[in-house]
Amino acid sequence: MKHVIIDQQGKAQLYFLLIVFINLTIFSLIVTGVVIGIKGYISDTRSVYTSITCCESICSTCFFTLHTIATILPWVCIVILFVGICAAIYKALYIPYRNNSLIHSLPSLSIECYPKLKNIAHRMHFHNQLVLLDNSELRYAFTSGLWKPKVYISLGLCFYLTRKELQAVLLHEAQHKKNKDPLKLFIIQILYALNFFLPINHYLLDQFSSASEKAADDSAVNVSREPIELASALVKICKSNQTAALYPFVSYFKGQNVTEDRVRRLLEPQMPPPDLFKVYLYSSSFLSLFIATILFLSLFYKFLLPAYAPDCAAKTCHIVRCGQS
């Protein structure tokens, strides 16, 4: 089982590094392009304005030249960059605020009040990092916290699960805590907001989430040797289906398909995983590459297009004639 854990953890780590590398590279290239080109964009925009208006009346054909369009595109890139930076700052401030206010709004109990949980936590040497939430109606367990994550479990879930299922859930969450998965997810969400125009991010986030969940499952089974108990707990929690709706930012990724896949591999580990994502991977990669190419061409167009000075005497604008001579 050990190589399986390394395999899923390795995959999660690879997807995380890929997201960071792709997004930081694209962001750096866009910022570099804007910083290098901003003076040129301003002077070109002035020049295009002069060309459009230099024939004493507005030269409408000048609007539709390649040069005019190429002058507008960098400004579109700057707006996209600005929107991305604002969205990333908003996420960076809002997610911790939302998590903190949610957690502080939930009353907690000492785990001493619930002997079943206390015994499991003590055996796992986990009692200092576990918070029992005083809510017997809702059933949820999650890991939250960026620097020192803690595992939160509701009283309702403790009542709902058997002892072995509860242990399996705690072992699963302990792995998220050990891997600092909430911090990684936070970084990914900021990068996702920063480069919101890249469809590949959605694919990579799905794959990272799925691999992290499977790595946590494998770690739990490696300790407990009880895959059926974890599968049973997963099905019960999925049927309750409360965590994701109530706590979208503290809860971890919980798609129905991913849960089905996790239960399947817990019950039938020898079965090969379904190969559902190839079309998704190819289409999102192609679209992201296309968008990135358009953005870079827009920012570095000056190196590709010849410069034309407006010629009012000849009534030409970027080699097209304006009106009647």
User: Segment near Zn ion (CB under 5 A), from 119-127, 251-259, 263-271, 300-308?
Assistant: 251-259
Residue nearest to Zn ion (CB): 252
Q: Smallest gap, in angstroms, from Cβ of residue 212 to Zn ion?
A: 7
Residue 126 contacts Zn ion per CB under 5 A: no
Q: How far is the CB of 257 from Zn ion (least distance, A)?
A: 15
Q: What count of Cα atoms within 13 Å lies in the side-chain half-sphere of residue 93?
A: 5
> Nearer to Zn ion by C-beta: 23 or 179?
179
Q: Which of residues 161-200 bind Zn ion (CB under 5 A)?
A: none
Closest CB to Zn ion among residues 216, 221 = 216
Separation of first and last alpha carbons in the chain: 82
**Residue with smaller CB distance to Zn ion, 95 or 171:** 171
User: What DSSP assignment string belongs to 247-281?
Assistant: -TTTS----HHHHHHHHHHHH-TTSPPP---HHHH
Stretch that binds Zn ion, among 81-89, 111-119, 247-255, 274-282 (CB under 5 A): 247-255
Footprint of Zn ion on residues 289-308 (CB under 5 A)?
none
Kindly indicate which of the ranges 63-71, 199-207, 246-254, 298-306 contains the residues binding Zn ion, using the contact rule CB under 5 A.
Answer: 246-254
- The least distance separating Zn ion from the CB of residue 150, rounded to whole angstroms, comes to 14
Is 252 a residue that touches Zn ion (CB under 5 A)? Answer: yes
Query: Judged by CB, which is closer to Zn ion: 150, or 302?
Result: 150
Q: How far is the CB of 152 from Zn ion (least distance, A)?
A: 12
- Nearer to Zn ion among residue 244 and residue 291 (C-beta): 244
- Give the number of residues in contact with Zn ion, rule: CB under 5 A: 3
Helix axes of 163-178 and 181-194: crossing angle, nearest 10 degrees: 60
Site mask for Zn ion (CB under 5 A), range 196-225, x = bound = -----------------x--x---------
Minimum separation from the CB atom of position 275 to Zn ion (A): 23
Which residue, 26 or 237, has its beta carbon nearer to Zn ion? Answer: 237
Q: In angstroms, what is the minimal distance from the CB of 258 to Zn ion?
A: 10
Q: Is the Cβ of residue 213 or residue 218 nearer to Zn ion in the bound state?
A: 213
Q: Does 114 bind Zn ion (CB under 5 A)?
A: no
* One-character DSSP codes across 156-207: HHHHHS-HHHHHHHHHHHHHHHHTTHHHHHHHHHHHHHHTTT-THHHHHHHH
- Under a CB-based contact definition with an 8 Å cutoff, are residues 227 and 221 in contact? yes
Distance CA 168, CA 174 (A): 10
Question: Per-residue DSSP letters for 23-68?
Answer: HHHHHHHHHHHHHHHHHHHHHHHHHHHHHHHTTSS--GGGGGSHHH
Q: Which is nearer to Zn ion, 211 or 216 (CB)?
A: 216
CB of 209 to Zn ion, least distance (A): 9
DSSP assignment letter at 218: H
Provide long-range contacts, Cβ within 8 A and 24+ apart, for 233-240. 233/161, 233/165, 233/166, 233/168, 233/169, 234/259, 234/262, 234/263, 234/266, 235/259, 235/263, 236/139, 236/160, 236/161, 236/165, 237/139, 237/140, 237/141, 237/157, 237/169, 240/139, 240/140, 240/160
Given the rule CB under 5 A, which residues bind Zn ion? 213, 216, 252
